[in-house]
C-alpha cells in the first residue's frame, strides 16, 4: 500500500506555519499535523540566509523556522527573513534583495523556498489546500487577487500540481465545528501576525460532512492589522523614543522619523543598514539634543541590531498581554539600559488598531444580515488572540455569545486539513 500522502493542507502564516496531512493513504483516513521541528507542530515563518557556504540543489545555504531565528540570535553572518507573507501583492515580490555574502534572492524565491521546506516535511505531495486571509491587501481587489496568484505560482514552482485556497477563518470554523453539538452561528476571529480575519459561519454536526458549504458562509471580512502592527506600535511608543524617535533637536525641529518607522517594520529593517544611510545618520549627531540617543541609534545601525530590537518589542507585547507591566532589557545596546513598559502605555499605543479590529468584527456580522445577539459563539484563533485587551474588548460587544478559544497556532491548519480531506481524499495517489 502506498503510504505517501498525495495531498496536504498548509497554513502559511505571517508569523508561524503549520501543515496537515492524511493519517495514511487510505481513503477516508483522518488528518494530523506534521511535526515540523522537534516536538513542534508549528514552525516560525522564518528563513536565515547564511553569508557563507556553498549552494546546494535547493539554492543558497539556509536555515528555517526556529533554527533560522537561532542562527540570527547566535550572530551568524547572514540575513533573517520574516513576515514574508506581507510581501504578497506588492511590487517587492519580483525584486531581488541582498541576503548576505554578495548574494541576492528574489522575494518570490524566498517564499517558494519556505513552501518547498513545508512540502518536503509533508512527504512531497502533489496537491495542496493553502489558507489565505480574507484580504491580503485591504481595499485593493486587483492587488489582493495578485497576491493569491503569486502565492499559487510559488506553490506550483516547488512541485504542487493542484492548488486550492480556503479562507483562514472559514478553516477555523471547520475546526470549531468538530465540537459543535447543535447548529450554531459562529463568528470566527482569526487574528494572526499580518491580518485580522472574520467569518460568520453556520456550523453543526449535520453540516460538517458536506463538501459544498457556500450557503453556510454568511459573511467574510478582514483588515490588514494584526500582531506585527502591534509589535511596531509597541516599539515606536515604548522603545524608540530612547533612540531619538519624536525627539526635538537643538534647532527646535523634530528629528526625521523615517528611520524609526523602518526599524519597526520587519521587512524594511535591512534597508536601515545601507552604508549611505548609516553615514547620513552618523553625521547627524548635532541634530540630537541628547547625544546618548544618537549613540544608541548608531549602535543599532552599525551593529545591525534592528531585528533584535523588534524581537524585544514583540516580547514586551506578550509580557503585557495578560495585563501586567513589564521591563525591556536593552543592555545589548547600552550597558544597563532597561526600559519600563506599562500596560497603560501599551493600551494607548494599540487603541486605534484594537478599535479598528473590533469594528471589523461588527461589520462582518452586519454583512451577514445579523445583529450581535444572533451570534451563538465567538471562536478565537491566531497568535494575537493571546492579547487579553483585544479578546475582552471583542467579547464585550457580543455578550450573549459563548466565548471559545481554539488552538491559537493550529486551528486554521486543522480546519484546512479537514477541507483538504473532503476535496482530495477520493483522488488517486500522485
Q: Which domains does the chain possess?
A: 7-168+412-424 (3.30.420.40), 181-225+352-407 (3.30.420.40), 228-348 (no CATH)
Q: Looking at the DSSP assignment, which residues form a beta bridge with residue 200?
A: 187, 219
Output the pLDDT for position 430.
Answer: 39
The dihedrals phi and psi of 410, each to the nearest 5 degrees, come to: -130, -10
Q: Name the stretches of the chain with pLDDT < 70.
A: 1-5, 24-29, 211-212, 426-430
CA distance 378 to 48: 37
CA dihedral of 103, 107, 110, 116, whole degrees rounded to 10: -140
- Yes or no: say if 72 and 80 are a contact pair by the CB < 8 Å rule: yes
CA distance 185 to 104: 49
Output the pLDDT for position 5.
Answer: 61
Q: Is the dihedral of CA 408, 412, 417, 422 positive or negative?
A: positive
- Yes or no: say if 289 and 265 are a contact pair by the CB < 8 Å rule: no
Please give the grid coordinates belonging to residue 236: 515606536
β-bridge pairing 377-381 and 62-64: unpaired
- Yes or no: say if 25 and 429 are a contact pair by the CB < 8 Å rule: yes
For the segment 54-88, what is each residue's pLDDT rounded down to a tens digit? 887 778 899 999 999 899 878 788 888 888 898 99
Output the pLDDT for position 24.
Answer: 65
Closest CA to 328 of 262, 238, 259: 238
The count of residues in the chain is 430
Output the pLDDT for position 1.
Answer: 45
DSSP for 115-134 reads HHHHHHHTT--SEEEEEE-S
Output the pLDDT for position 4.
Answer: 56
β-bridge pairing 78-82 and 96-100: unpaired
CA distance 50 to 68: 9
Amino acid at each position: 500500500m502506498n503510504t505517501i500522502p498525495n495531498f496536504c493542507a498548509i497554513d502559511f502564516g505571517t508569523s508561524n506555519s503549520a501543515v496537515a496531512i492524511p493519517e495514511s493513504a487510505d481513503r477516508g483516513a483522518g488528518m494530523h499535523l506534521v511535526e515540523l521541528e522537534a516536538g513542534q507542530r508549528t514552525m516560525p515563518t522564518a528563513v536565515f540566509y547564511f553569508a557563507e557556504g556553498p549552494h546546494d540543489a535547493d539554492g543558497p545555504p539556509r536555515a528555517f523556522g526556529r533554527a533560522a531565528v537561532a542562527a540570527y540570535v547566535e550572530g551568524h553572518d547572514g540575513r533573517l527573513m520574516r513576515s514574508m507573507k506581507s510581501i504578497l501583492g506588492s511590487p517587492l515580490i519580483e525584486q531581488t534583495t541582498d541576503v548576505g555574502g554578495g548574494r541576492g534572492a528574489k522575494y518570490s524565491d524566498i517564499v517558494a523556498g519556505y513552501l518547498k521546506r513545508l512540502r518536503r516535511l509533508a512527504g512531497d505531495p502533489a496537491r495542496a489546500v493553502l489558507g489565505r486571509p480574507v484580504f491580503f491587501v485591504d481595499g485593493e481587489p486587483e492587488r489582493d487577487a495578485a497576491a493569491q496568484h503569486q502565492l499559487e505560482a510559488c506553490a506550483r514552482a516547488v512541485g504542487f500540481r493542484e492548488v486550492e485556497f480556503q479562507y483562514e477563518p472559514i478553516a477555523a470554523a471547520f475546526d470549531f465545528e468538530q465540537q459543535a453539538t447543535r447548529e450554531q452561528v459562529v463568528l470566527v476571529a482569526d487574528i494572526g501576525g499580518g491580518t485580522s480575519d472574520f467569518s460568520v459561519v453556520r456550523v453543526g454536526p449535520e453540516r460538517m460532512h458536506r463538501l459544498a458549504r457556500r450557503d453556510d458562509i454568511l459573511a467574510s471580512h478582514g483588515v490588514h492589522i494584526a500582531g506585527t502592527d502591534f509589535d511596531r506600535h509597541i516599539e515606536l511608543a515604548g522603545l524608540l523614543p530612547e533612540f531619538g524617535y519624536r525627539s526635538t533637536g537643538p534647532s527646535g525641529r523634530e528629528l526625521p522619523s523615517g528611520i524609526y518607522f523602518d526599524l519597526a517594520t520587519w521587512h524594511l529593517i535591512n534597508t536601515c543598514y545601507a552604508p549611505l544611510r548609516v553615514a547620513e545618520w552618523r553625521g547627524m549627531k548635532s541634530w540630537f539634543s541628547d547625544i546618548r540617543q544618537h549613540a544608541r541609534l548608531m549602535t543599532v545601525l552599525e551593529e545591525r541590531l534592528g531585528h533584535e530590537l523588534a524581537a524585544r518589542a514583540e516580547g514586551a507585547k506578550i509580557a503585557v498581554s495578560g495585563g501586567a507591566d513589564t521591563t525591556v532589557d536593552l543592555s545589548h545596546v547600552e550597558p544597563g539600559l532597561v526600559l519600563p513598559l506599562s500596560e497603560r502605555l501599551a493600551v494607548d499605543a494599540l487603541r486605534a488598531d484594537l478599535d479598528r479590529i473590533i469594528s471589523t468584527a461588527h461589520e462582518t456580522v452586519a454583512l451577514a444580515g445579523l445583529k450581535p445577539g444572533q451570534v451563538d459563539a465567538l471562536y478565537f484563533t491566531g497568535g494575537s488572540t493571546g492579547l487579553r485587551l483585544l479578546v475582552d474588548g471583542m467579547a464585550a460587544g457580543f455578550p450573549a455569545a459563548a466565548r471559545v478559544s481554539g488552538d491559537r497556532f493550529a486551528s486554521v491548519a486543522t480546519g484546512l486539513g479537514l477541507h483538504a480531506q473532503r476535496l482530495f481524499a477520493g483522488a488517486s495517489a500522485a
